[in-house]
Amino acid sequence: MNRLLADLRIVEFSAFVAAPLGGMTMAQFGAEVIRIDPLGGAIDFARWPVTQDGISLYWAGLNKAKRSVALALDKPEGRELAQAIAAAPGPGAGIVLTNLPPLPGLDYASLQAKRADLILLRLIGNRDGSAAVDYTVNAASGFPLVTGPGGGAPVNHVLPAWDIAAGLYLATALLAAERHRARTSSGQEVVAALADVMLAMVGHLGYVGDVHINGRARPAIGNDLYGSFGRDFATADARRIMIIALTPRQWRALGRATGLADKLAMVGTMMEVDLETEAGRYEARDAIAAPLARWCAGKTLAEIGTAFAGSGVLWGPFQDFVELVRDDPRCSAANPLFSEVAQPGIGRYPMPGLPFEFSAAPREPTRPAPRLGEHTDAVLSEILGLADGEIARLHDSGVIAGPDGR
Amino acid sequence: MNRLLADLRIVEFSAFVAAPLGGMTMAQFGAEVIRIDPLGGAIDFARWPVTQDGISLYWAGLNKAKRSVALALDKPEGRELAQAIAAAPGPGAGIVLTNLPPLPGLDYASLQAKRADLILLRLIGNRDGSAAVDYTVNAASGFPLVTGPGGGAPVNHVLPAWDIAAGLYLATALLAAERHRARTSSGQEVVAALADVMLAMVGHLGYVGDVHINGRARPAIGNDLYGSFGRDFATADARRIMIIALTPRQWRALGRATGLADKLAMVGTMMEVDLETEAGRYEARDAIAAPLARWCAGKTLAEIGTAFAGSGVLWGPFQDFVELVRDDPRCSAANPLFSEVAQPGIGRYPMPGLPFEFSAAPREPTRPAPRLGEHTDAVLSEILGLADGEIARLHDSGVIAGPDGR
């Protein structure tokens, strides 16, 4: 968290990962981000992982530092309030972020009629308006069929990588559009398709060109690096590690640190490749891996750590989520990235802020996610200027709800 | 491509994915992005995939629309030129992006001494300065041990997801820092660690909280969705598809479109769960999948496409990179995301621009990556004001190189 964008206000209608992550990124930069949800929460409100009481750790994770407003979006009066909040005046306000189908009155034309310079950022599935989510976009991307051992069995990523890319792209697009508005007074509608985020990345990484130019695509090669040397190895104590030699320097360090330099040099002669090149190491990867595998299998993870310390070898152990959280000091409040936060309804645990240090914007503690509806009354009062009596009437008539759900 | 950021100039010292992607995102927004490389190219200049001639499709993909300057960065005179370009005056200039160790004169203190309001964005591996790359950060993340079938064998993602997240975070951070400078005249140094990008995302998705609060982590469940219903199925013609039911509406659509609604309803009774909830569908996922698997196995992909068309079922076929590029119209110049581009040294193929439509900034054709050193002379002339004779002397003394490598 910092205060770099503290003069911005973003109103978010969202669910799941992408738009919530984009909005939360802004909130962690200090922007006022108001997530407006239907009464009872949106479709992601109970998404797993959850606590034993069914409270979503996922929702808490993706909505930190936001304000929460709960409105009856199925009623005209609820939608009118949402529209009024979204289109409220103020130089840093009038920015709307969504990955949901627009409700009546919350489309760009309606919002722009209320505020001419409004910026609306919309993430959709496919460009033609059809549905797509991370799982379907990933299936289409080509990656699952080269992940894991291959053989025609697709392996899906577990990290929602396309949603993450889309969320961070949205944050960039938001700042680009806001910069344009600050210079020209013009708002705009910005539309991104999740499928296009995937397609752009497949192209950026060279895979579209590979098929067009070479008529082929990279194969599935398990955990091997494509086009260089890198592979996972088992240790004597049943751990796994990645060892990588992308650069000549890393390659030479690996030979030195393992004492296998002479044997590895024989691989070059045996396989008739230049091991100083990435392509040479890739072609000879099985021959390189054989002595390394024996070396790793004879040592514990701790012994390997000692052997590689300060050596210039590029490597790292695999760890599961429990090992990451319990044993890796980077994943604790010892890392300034994390703050111990008391999350309402859940408890205290370390929550990450922005993965940046800005020298001109001191890091502030991570703030928790709101309770659903926690800021309904405050937002209606501060932004719409509603009197207490009117707010009470809206509660009584079921148009708005506070953190008690009513 | 558009022109939203056409008044910015970013100078990039980079390699591989993250910083090049961050810079390219700016270039596709119209910024002048000058990538400065050592003579002969940086360590990513021949990264795979490559053409039959060894020209990198990857490098071309990640450096589109940039200007390329080749300098002898191993010589003081080359570094002085790099520093002068990086710290050159101009309201939109003085922004430096890097994921390489700083060379003498190119650290923040040296650059700031030349231009007080300079912004330097640096991506490092670990916060303590030790090396980390996507492969090692991923190994530490917990994800490889829940990707694929599990059983302790890690499965690495092939998509460099952490590099992609870092690159897009850098783009966001760049615009946040530039916005701050435009308002305060203050530059700054911004440092991000790739490991922190990973840790932030593991936390945002709820996995850190899961271990702290629940004392456990999600298991490996192959291609199943965690906490809801989704799985891959084989078709009669040996294709694979993902079918997903995140929402009650998608769940009911699936029953209707397959004609299995009555049988699926029995699953709820048999398994004693409420199939209208995500948790219920997750618990009963094997029982749900059994009749669906038989249904899919009896139909070709085309027949399934017909059955699901307009049904509201959330699904999609798996396709490999060749199928994506050859058969999916979204991955072609029929999609405005792509332009047919003539890439020097490679040939013509569709290259993606930004995955956004900005209503106030018309899309322009995607521009190719430069040849290495293509803009050396122009940049030295335009930005540093060097005379032709001085530029010729620098060529002759091996301090700079043009696209012919000299």
Q: Is residue B152 predicted with pLDDT exceeding 90?
A: no
**Interchain CB distance below 8 Å, B356 and A192:** yes
Q: What number of other Cβ atoms are within 10 A of residue B353's Cβ? A: 24
pLDDT reading at B113 higher than 90: yes
Of the pLDDT bands very low, low, confident and very high (cuts 50, 70, 90), residue B139 is very high
Is 90 exceeded by the pLDDT of residue B103?
yes
Stretch B366-381: mean pLDDT, rounded?
98
Q: Please report which helix (H) or strand (E) contains residue A33, including its range.
A: strand A32-38
Query: Chain A partners of B151 at a C-beta cutoff of 8 Å?
Result: none
- Minimal CA–CA distance to A158: which of A167, A168, A148? A148
CA distance linking residue B352 with residue B203, whole number of Å:
31
Closest CA to B228 of A351, A270, A56: A56
Q: For residues A54 and A46, is the Cβ–Cβ distance under 8 A?
A: yes
Nearest CA in chain B to A241: B139
A256 to chain B, minimum CA–CA distance in Å?
Answer: 18
Q: In chain B, what residues touch A359 (CB-CB under 8 Å)?
A: 108, 188-190
User: Given an 8 Å threshold on Cβ–Cβ distance, is A316 in contact with B140?
Assistant: yes
* Yes or no, beta carbons of A325 and B187 under 8 Å apart: no
Does the pLDDT at position B115 exceed 90? yes
Q: Rounded to whole angstroms, how far apart are CA atoms A10 and A34?
A: 6
Nearest to B186 among A126, A352, A360 (CB): A360
Positive or negative torsion for Cα A315, A317, A318, A321: negative
CA distance A315 to A305: 9
B168: nearest CB among A165, A178, A326: A165
Residue A306 to chain B, least CA–CA distance (Å): 15
Q: Residue B222 has what pLDDT?
A: 96
A134 touches B316 (CB < 8 A): no
For range B357-365, the mean pLDDT? 97
Question: Do the chains contact at B51 and A214, CB–CB below 8 Å?
Answer: yes
Hey, is A340 helix, strand or coil? strand
How many interface pairs between A and B have CB atoms less than 8 angstroms apart?
A: 491
Å from B332 to nearest chain A CA?
9
Each residue's pLDDT tens digit, B259-269: 999 999 999 99
Q: Do B49 and A195 touch (CB under 8 A)?
A: no
Using a pLDDT cut of 70, give the percent of chain B over it: 100
Q: Do A180 and B148 touch (CB under 8 A)?
A: no
Q: CA B356 to CA B368: how far, in whole Å?
A: 19
What is the per-residue pLDDT for B202? Answer: 98
Tell me which DSSP letter residue A50 carries.
Answer: B
Task: Compute how many other C-beta atoms are within 10 angstroms of the C-beta atom of residue B41.
Answer: 18
Q: Say how far apart CA B109 and CA B117 lie, in whole Å.
A: 11
Which residues of chain A lie closer than 8 angstroms to B137, CB-CB? 316
3-state secondary structure of A367: coil
Catalytic residue check, A274: no
Q: Which residues of A touch B342 (CB under 8 A)?
A: none
Instruction: Judge: A203–B132 Cβ closer than 8 Å, yes or no.
Output: no
Bridging pattern class, strands B95-98 and B229-234? unpaired
- Within 10 angstroms of residue B94's Cβ, the number of other Cβ atoms is 26
List Cβ<8 Å contacts ≥24 apart for B272-276: B275/B251, B276/B248, B276/B251
CA distance B32 to chain A (A): 15
**Taking CA atoms, what residue in A is nearest to B45?**
A278
Q: Nearest residue of A to residue B169 by CA position?
A: A168
Q: How far is CA B328 from the centre of its chain?
A: 21
Q: CB distance B349–A176 less than 8 Å?
A: no
Three-state secondary structure call for residue A332: coil
Give the minimum alpha-carbon distance from B291 to chain A in angstroms, rounded to a whole number.
Answer: 20
Q: Which of B62, B96, B237, B331 to mutate to test the interface with A (most CBs of A within 10 A)?
A: B331
Q: Over pLDDT 90: what percentage of chain B?
A: 99
Q: Six-digit token pair at A111?
A: 């919002």
Q: Which residues in chain B have Cβ-Cβ distances shorter than 8 Å to A330?
A: 126-127, 140, 195-196, 199
Cβ contact A44:A61 at 8 Å: no
Q: Is the pLDDT of residue B150 over 90?
A: no
Contact A321 B202 (CB under 8 A): yes
Question: Residue A152 has what pLDDT?
Answer: 86
Going by pLDDT thresholds of 50, 70 and 90, the confidence category of residue B145 is very high
A382 min Cα distance to partner chain B (Å): 26
Residue numbers in A near B160 (CB within 8 A):
205
pLDDT in tens, B269-325: 999 999 999 999 999 999 999 999 999 999 999 999 999 999 999 999 999 999 999
Q: What is the dihedral of CA B111, B114, B117, B123, to 10 degrees?
A: -10
Three-class SS of residue A16?
coil
Q: Work out the average pLDDT over B173-201.
A: 98
Residue A154 to residue B318, Cβ atoms within 8 A: yes
User: Which token pair is A69?
Assistant: 């407003």
Residue B403 CB contacts under 8 Å (≥ 6 apart), including other chains? B370, B371, B372, B373, B374
Among candidate residues B37, B134, B163, B377, the one labeled active-site is B163
Active-site pick, A37, A134, A163, A377: A163
Displacement of CA A40 from its chain's centroid (Å) = 25
Compute how many other C-beta atoms are within 10 angstroms of the C-beta atom of residue A154.
Answer: 23
Comparing CA positions, the residue from B373, B343, B367 lying closest to residue B50 is: B343
Could you give the 3-state DSSP secondary structure of residue B192? strand
- Distance separating alpha carbons of residues B399 and B72, to the nearest angstrom: 5
pLDDT along chain A (406 residues), means of 10: 97 98 98 98 96 97 98 98 98 98 97 98 96 97 95 94 98 98 98 98 98 96 96 97 96 98 95 95 97 98 97 97 97 96 98 97 97 98 98 98 95
Strands B32-38 and B400-401 come out as: unpaired
The per-residue pLDDT of chain B, averaged, comes to: 97
Kindly list the residues from chain B whose CB atom is less than 8 angstroms away from the CB atom of residue A164: 161, 164-165, 201
pLDDT of residue A150: 87
Percentage helix, strand, coil for chain B under 3-state DSSP, each rounded to 5:
40, 15, 45
Q: What is the β-pairing status of strands B67-71 and A188-193?
A: unpaired
The answer to whether A242 touches A318, Cβ cutoff 8 Å, is: yes
Q: Do A205 and B158 touch (CB under 8 A)?
A: no
Instruction: Compare all CA atoms of chain A with the CA of B135 and give the residue at the minimum distance.
Output: A242
Backbone angles phi, psi at B191, to 5 degrees: -120, 130
Q: Give the C-alpha separation, A140 to B97, whole Å.
A: 32
